[in-house]
Structure 1
Amino acid sequence: MEQAVKSAQVKSPEMRAEVISALRALSDPDHQQQVWIDRIYPKPNFYDDFTLNVNTLYDDTTVLADPEAALGCTPATEAEVRAMAAPADALDMAGRAVSDAEFMASESWPGVVASARDALATLTE
């Protein structure tokens, strides 16, 4: 119920759902291996990869590029804005690898997963 209330407090609940979906993918190493690396998709006409999720968070919703500016559009609270800073920092530390597998193999990837998991928890609590 709390998630429905928060979604009602933002101008773009559909974009908020996309942010949550992207954080869910970034926080789930099993999904990353199965879908991003092994290309085993859960249903026909499904596609997901690292780049798609990063583009959602940085370009489409700007929630990682400028979390404060996104307040009220996709994040509903100051706590959610603060929670988005950690995934942005972790992704910056992961660098600019060439492939999804290289990102996932980097020593900073566990930080990306953990920060996405924490941000997801904040947005969905």
Structure 2
Amino acid sequence: MVQYPKMREELLETLRSLSDREYQHKAWVESDYPPGIEYDSFDEAVHFLYDDTVLAENPDAAIGVIIENEKEARSIAAVCQAIDLVFDVLGTEASDEDYINSSEWISVVEAASKALQAMETKSQQAVKV
């Protein structure tokens, strides 16, 4: 259980976008958004993780608030570390296309995929109970 389940769902959506290279290219590069989405970009994910929450700075502080446990905190920390590496190499002003085409980007996709899998597995188990 978390205090803010809607924010958790937003985190899951952020992880889905960070783990899906096809989506990134279509939405972030081509501005071809799926139905119901008016705008999306890598910047949206960064704002959620780094500005709107404590997830990038201190994911443990989000346990019970947005995430459920230490395992989820570690997986989110890995995503943020991968993003930080991309920023270390390309800076914070590159285009979404430059980010997703960089050799460092695969670490972001992999970390987001692992975090998403861990969080969705946990959420699915909670629904079965």
TM-score higher than 0.5: yes
Alignment partner of 1:76 out of 58, 68, 73: 68
Superposition deviation, residue 87 in structure 1: 0.5
Unaligned runs of 5+ residues in structure 1 are 1-8
Q: Aligned partners of 1:64 and 1:124: how far apart in 2?
A: 20
**1:4 aligned residue:** none
SS in 1 for 2:64: coil
Normalising by structure 1, what TM-score?
Answer: 0.88
Distance between the aligned counterparts of 2:41 and 2:3, measured in 1?
Answer: 27
2:116 aligns to what? 120
Q: Which amino acid aligns with 1:98?
A: A
Question: What is the count of residue pairs matched by the alignment?
Answer: 117
CA deviation after TM superposition for structure 1 residue 64, in Å: 2.2
> Counterpart amino acid of 1:36?
W
Q: Give per-residue Cα distances to partners, 1:63-117, cap 9 Å, x unaligned.
A: 2221011111111111111111110110011012511011111110000000000
Q: TM-score, normalised by structure 2?
A: 0.86
Runs of 4+ in 1 over 2 A off after TM superposition: none
Percent of pairs with identical residues? 37
In the alignment, what sits opposite 2:38?
46
Q: CA RMSD of the aligned region, Å?
A: 1.2
